[in-house]
Structure 1
Amino acid sequence: MSAIASSKPSRSASAIVASTASGYHLLKIDGYTRTKGVRTGDKIKSRPFTVGGHKWHIDYHPNGFNSEDADYISLFLVLDDNVTTAVKAQQRFCFADEVKGQAPSLTSASINNYTSQKGWGWGTWTFIKRAELEKSNHLKDDSFTIRCDIVVIQEYRAEDFTPTAFVSVAPSDLHQHLGDLLKTEKGADVVFEVGGETFAAHRCVLAARSPVFSAELFGGMKEGNTAGVVRIDDMEAQVFKALLCFAYTDSLPKPEEEDVMYQHLLVAADRYNMDRLKSICEEKLCNYIDVGTVATATILALAEQHHCEGLKKACLHFLGTPANLRALLDSDGFDHLSRSCPSIMKKLIAMLAFT
């Protein structure tokens, strides 16, 4: 056999990759009913913003882009830069309160060519019917917020890559196994009594997830009688159940009354020094600040008492609007705040002096 015939064929692989930059812009329509006076075809421009090294703005048409869409709200992303070649980008509009957790994927969105010379952009003529918006939960206190996600395609390049391996590794299912361990109570070695209910759990899991549980179950603060029962006061059973679920699975069940549950969970997370759970509760509660003055006062008090700086800043930002601050001062929420958290009163009084 010749040397040529016995040599192995060479192998190589390459890929063409689209380099991208992504971001999003939140556009709040505050005073929606007043914008309805804008004529069909006319627009209101957002402030400019930057994504992928280019300046953009959003055109908001309260009564549609043309007569055929007069019953709808129209939205368009417009390039604000002067460019010699078209900018390739993808965009998608949605209500900001629809985005939970990870940002929506734009993989299926169309790739559009944006140019500054045309004077118009790409978007949707029929984002939502005004009648539907006015009946929906998106409209609160005559306001709603639009989120525009953008992916800018910056360049195409070729690079080497390793072909797909023959062995496919499944994603981690540790959370599922630990969740099953909690449900089946197999190997449980501690029982908690909370709000008249009992919950079986595993000391090692809880100690690994919370330094407070670690101290209580293994350290000098070790709790529990000879039967291994730990009594927890000042907490509802459903709150502790959600806390256990997070400790085992790093996720939370969907509560019925989200704002109330997240308030209680924030207190519980602070009590057991579970920082990630505490941050999740802070983020969730930011969405309920403008629901009502009583809710805002309660959330602000919690933020102050439990050292939640991000949540506190969100509350004060909302109260930075004179109308919102006056509404709080005239409500029962102010009385609750003054009784439960007097430390924040100086801040509010100072804010009132500048309104």
Structure 2
Amino acid sequence: MASDSTSSNTTTSSNSSNNDLLLVIDGQQSINTTTVANTSAARDQTSVIIEPQDYLKIGSTFKLVINRFADLGNDHIVSPVFNIGLTTIWYVKVKPWFTDGNGRHYLSVHLFLCYSDERSVRAKYTVSILDNSDHSLQNSRSCGCLQYKLTGDGWGYQKYCDRRWLIDHRSGQLLLPNNQLFLVFNIEVSVPQTVSIEDNYLQELHNVCGLKWLADFRILVSGKEFYVHKCILAVRSPVFAAMFSATTTSTTTTTTTTTGADRRCFTVTNDKSIDTLVVNDIMDVDVFRELLTFIYTGRLGQLASAELPLPTSQPTVSSMAYYAKLLAAAHKYAVRELKSICEDIIYRGVAIGTAVQTLVLAEQCAALKLRERVIDYIADNLQSVRTVTDQQMWKQFIDGYPEAVDAIFEAIRALIIYVPSYSSTVEKEFST
């Protein structure tokens, strides 16, 4: 640090007019000192980089505009407070007229910590004067990585620049246009990186998923091998639990097929090294990988997150198809939480032209929540749904899913209570 820099933990006060100072946050609109800086604007403009040694580095750029600079005395001017990141609040203190022991006058600049959630914060910054002739930065001075331990700690320069040089007539129009001084701060703050125990635990489980290390079971899907751990799959999926119980009671056999409706879908074989589940039905490898990720972590993986629509938007056609496959997989292996998530997302994408297909999907996957919602949707929009739905598909739906048709009639009867003229329309649509 330069010899003229100082540290302070005193309470700052200002005797200067609030109209003399403005703060611009990363190019956002100027803010008067009578108000608190818009912290959300500061957050949106910051860049976040993960540093080694478990520190989170956050960088922001701020511009301080001091009006009537040449007319100001030796009182301190304090900027509005501003956020850097989510856990630290700062302010700048400027003294336009600092006089040293030799009678020379300087501009004094310091950066103060106003508040922090952390016990210790590191910060380094560069302060420069904006040259309005070519918008270059003049007299740039940097403070190294300094430690702020207490609220009110401040580091900076008592002798940042010679005041006489700054207001000299040869440079006054360049550095002080209209008697305004523009100070630009580039600040980097490093705070201890807070790691969630839950996130760390789930990440470790995610890293284990699919690794051969310590795996005691193998699943083969369309030629792709997935190495898994029986205990995790059994706890999260009743289907896997039943399957593993069946195979452990018949270890003398080399091949075991499951019973029930899914008899043809997969086969468990036993070789000398590890038991293997061969998924015989048509299963998308990416979908199965997503299923395993959710079984291990309880969260959607990167692929599903990329397809995940915003809460206020409808899913795209591609994401609807993806989540339909994921719903089928979650149903097949009885992963209830994943099934519920898929139902919610799919329903957000229901439209007039897809309502029947979505109801068929809900019937096939026993997705009761989705089924109930889509039935109400069709009942509310029966004429439109019937108009855009293919004639053959509509007939197959009526013949193949009579219980769903009855449920639609029940929903429509509730509407008829309020709209008596609706009954004739209903009979016409279902009679074709």
Give the shorter-chain TM-score range. 0.3 to 0.5
After TM superposition, the score normalised by the length of structure 2 is 0.40
* Larger relative contact order (CA 8 Å, sep ≥ 6): 1
